Amino acid sequence: MGELDALLSPFSIKSMTVPNRAVLPPMGTGLANPDGTASDALLAYMKRQAQGGVGLLISEITAIATNGLVLKKQLAAWDDAFLPGLKQLAAVMHSGGGKAAMQLHHGGRESAYMLKKGMAIGPSPLPSLIYGHPPREMTLQDIDEIVAAYGSAAARARAAGFDAVEIHGAHGYLITQFLSAISNQRSDEFGGDFKSRARFLFEVVRSVRKSVGDDFPVLLRISAEEYIKNGYTVDDVLTILPDLIGSGVDIVHASVGTHGSPAGITSAPPEFDVGFNVWRAEKIKKAGPIPVIAVGRFNDPRPANDVIARGEADLVAFGRQALCDPDYLLKARQGRYEDIRRCIACNQGCIEREMFEGKSVRCAINPETGMEIVRPAGPAANPRKVWIVGSGPAGLTAAFEAKRLGHDVTVFEKEAQTGGNIRYACKAPHKEIYLDWIEFLAKQVKDAGVPIQMKTPVTEPMLTEDRPDVVIVATGGEKLVPRIDGMDQPHVFDAWQILGETVNPAKAILVVGGGLIGMETACFAAARGSDVTLIEQLPSSPVPKFTSHGYSLHKYLRQAGALLRFGCTLKSITPDGVVIECDGQEERLSSFDQVVIAVGMKPRNELKAFLAEKNIRHVVVGDALKVRRIMEATEEGARAAWEL
C-alpha cells in the first residue's frame, strides 16, 4: 500500500467520477468582474488550481440572486447572460483532469452592500452579527422566488458544463440564517424547532434536484455545528439528515462555524490542529449513511489520506493549502513532501484580506496566488546582477522569484541565521509553524542555486567595488528605544532578548507596549510561567480581536491571568520599580523583576541614501520601506523581482 492510496483513489457519485479525493473547497476570490462574470484573473487563478490535479474543484460562492451578493466582485449565475463565462470557468476547472462543481450562494443578511442599500433579506429582521443592520423579513413570495432561483442557477451550472452543484448552507449565509434560532424567529412554517427551520433548506434542495435531474450530484455544504452561543449542534444536524437525503442531497461537505463564531474557526488559526473538524464529518457520514467531505486545516496530504483510509470521510478539502501551494498534491505524488509550501493559517492574505480590507484573494506566503496574470513566467529578457540585502520574508521572496526569472542573484545577511524577524515572530504559542515556513523558504532559495552570504552586512565599500545592476533593499525594521530615565537599569530588556531566548523571562514582568510584538512577548512569557502586566499608551488594544490571530493572543493572555492596562505611559524606570501615567495620574509600581520594552520598530534603510547618491538602481521593500506585516514584505519582494 502506498502512503496516499486512499486519497488518490477515484470516487464515484451518480454521474460523476472524480479521479482522486482531494477537493478544492469553494473560496470567494474577489477576482470576478464587477458585473459578476468570470474575469481573466479568475480564469487564470482557477486554471492554476486545476493544474495541481485535485479530483474535485468547487467554484467560489456563486450568487443565485442580486440581493444575495456578499463580495464587490463575486461570480454570479442568476441569469443566462452569465453562461458564456461560466462555460469558460468550467472548462479551466476541467483542465487538470478533475471535476467541477458550482457553489450556489445567497448571503441573506450578511450582504454588507445590500444592507447599505436596504435590499438585504433574511428570515427575520434581526441585525447581522457582523454589520449590525437588520435585513427585510422575507415574505412567502420572497421564499418561493429564492428557492426557484437556486434551481435556475443549478440548471445553468449543468448547462455550462459543471459536473455537480454544491448548495452553500454554511457559514451564516441565508440557509444558515434559516437553520439558526439566533437569526430565524419566524412564526410561520419556516420557523420553530430545528426541523421546521430546515424547511427552507429542504425546499432549496428539492428545487435544485428538480432542475438538475436525478443523476446529477448535489452536494450540500453545511456548518455541521454553528459554534456560537445558543447555536445549533451537530446532533441537531443529524435529526434532519434523513430529510436532506430524501430531498436529494448526495454528499455532505461538513464545515463548521458561522459569522461571529469565536476564533475564526471556519478558516481556523494554528491553535486548531490539522483535521480538528473531521469528527463532525464522521458523525454525519455514519449517521446518514452518506458520503462526506471533511475540511479544516489540512496542509499535508498524508493525514488526509489517513482520514479517508480510516473511513472517517470520503473526500478531504484543502482550502488555504491550495492558495498557499496549488501543487501540493503533485509534489506529494512525487514524494517531494519537503517541497510543499505549507499553509501557516495566518489568514492575512486570504480570508481576512477579503473580509476586512475588501480586497481580492492573495496568500501571505505565496506571491503567485491571485496574481496569476501579473506574475511573469520568465525567463527575463535582460538577466541582471541583483544583490538582495536581507534574508527576511521580503529578501528571500525576492531572491526566489528573481532566480526563477533567470537573474544572477546573491543574498547578503548580516546575522548568522536567515529569516529576519520571523525568528522572533514564531515564538508566541502556536506560531512554531512560522519558523517551518521561513526555513522552507530559505532552503528553496538555496536549492535554486542562490548564494546566501551569511554574517555579511552590505556596506558602502562593497557596493562601490562590486557594483551590482540592481539592489533590493530588504533590511527590515529595527527596534525603537524609548528615551526615558532608567533605561540603563540591569533589569530592563527588550522583546527581542526575551523572544530570542538570550534572557529568560522573570517571574513578574512588565511588558511596555501592547502592539503585536508586546502582546506576543507577553504570551511567550506567560507560557513560561511569568506573571505578566502589560501597559499600552493607546486607550485600547492596537491588536484587533476581530482577526483570528488577535483573538488568539487576547484569549491566551486572558486565560493566563495577565493584566492589560491601556491608556498608560511609561515615564521612568527606577532600581525598584517604574513610574507610569494612566489617564493623567502618576502611579508607582514596584513589584516587577523585569521591564521588557516592546514599543515597536522603525524602518532600517540606511543604504538607500548611498545607493541614490551613487546612482545604483535600487528598490526598498518590506519593513525597510515601512514596518508592516509578512503580506506586504512578500508582496513587495516578489514585485521587485518581477519588475527587475
Ligand X SMILES: Cc1cc2nc3c(=O)[nH]c(=O)nc-3n(C[C@H](O)[C@H](O)[C@H](O)COP(=O)(O)O)c2cc1C
> Which residues inside 482-501 make contact with ligand FAD, applying CB under 6 A?
499
User: What nine digits make up the cell of 350?
Assistant: 486570504
- Pick the binder of ligand X from 37, 39, 49, 103 (CB under 6 A): 103
Q: How far is CA 516 from CA 175, 538, 632, in A?
A: 37, 13, 16
Task: Round to whole Å and give the CA distance between 361 and 355.
Answer: 10
Instruction: State the Cα–Cα distance between residues 318 and 294, nearest whole angstrom.
Output: 9
Site membership for ligand X, residue 398 (CB under 6 A): no
Does position 547 interact with ligand FAD (CB under 6 A)? The reply is no
Least Cβ distance, residue 481 to ligand FAD (angstroms): 15
Closest CA to 494 of 475, 481, 508: 481
Site string for ligand X, 205-244 (x = CB under 6 A): ----------------x-----------------------
Report the partner that residue 361 touches, choosing among ligand X, ligand FAD, none (CB closer than 5 to 8 A by kind). Answer: ligand X
42 vs 450, which CB is nearer to ligand X?
A: 42
Interface with ligand X, residue 298, by CB under 6 A? yes
DSSP string of 414-425, one letter each residue: SSSSS-TTHHHH
**Does residue number 608 form part of the binding site for ligand FAD (CB under 6 A)?**
no
Shortest Å distance, C-beta 87 to ligand X: 20
Partnered with residue 17 across adjacent β-strands are 12
Tell me: does residue 425 bind ligand FAD (CB under 6 A): yes
Cα–Cα dist 284/312, whole Å:
10
Peptide bond into 379 cis (omega under 30): yes
**Integer Cα distance of 605 and 360 in angstroms:** 30
Residue 234: C-alpha distances to residues 118, 226, 230, 295 (Å) = 34, 8, 13, 15
Cβ-contact 580, 569 below 8 angstroms: yes
Part in contact with ligand FAD (CB under 6 A); list of ranges 22-30, 294-302, 561-569, 622-630: 622-630
Assign 30 to helix, strand or coil: coil
- Give whichever of 87 and 479 is closer to ligand FAD, judged by the CB atom: 479
Distance in angstroms (rounded) separating the CA atoms of residues 507 and 114? 53
| Residue 42-81 contact track with ligand X, rule CB under 6 A, x = bound | ------------------xx--------------------
Select 257 or 291, whichever has its Cβ closest to ligand X: 257
Give the other-Cβ count within 10 Å of 602's Cβ.
Answer: 12
C-alpha cell read off for 167: 448548495
Q: Residue from 157, 278, 294, 389 that binds ligand FAD (CB under 6 A)?
A: 389
Q: Which residues make Cβ contacts (< 8 Å) with residue 600, sequence separation at least 6?
A: 479, 480, 513, 515, 517, 627
Among candidate residues 45, 113, 131, 173, the one labeled active-site is: 173
Binding of residue 266 to ligand X (CB under 6 A): yes
User: Contacting ligand X (CB under 6 A), which of 267, 418, 421, 530?
Assistant: 267
Q: How far is the CB of 326 from ligand FAD (least distance, A)?
A: 22
| C-alpha cell at position 436 | 517551518
- Tell me how many residues contact ligand FAD (CB under 6 A): 36
Residue pair 56/23 in contact (Cβ under 8 Å)? The answer is yes
Whether 45 is a known active-site residue: answer no
Helices 234-247 and 278-287 pack at an angle, to 10 degrees, of: 50
- What would the x/- binding string for ligand FAD be over residues 192 to 231, using CB under 6 A? ----------------------------------------
Q: Residue 202: which of ligand FAD, ligand X, none does it interact with, CB under 5 to 8 A by kind? A: none
List contacts with ligand X (CB under 6 A).
25-28, 60-61, 103, 168, 170-171, 221, 255, 266-268, 295-298, 317-321, 350-351, 354, 361
List contacts with ligand FAD (CB under 6 A).
348, 389-395, 412-415, 420-422, 424-425, 457-458, 474-477, 499, 516-517, 520, 549, 604, 622-624, 628-630, 633
Positions annotated as catalytic residues are 173
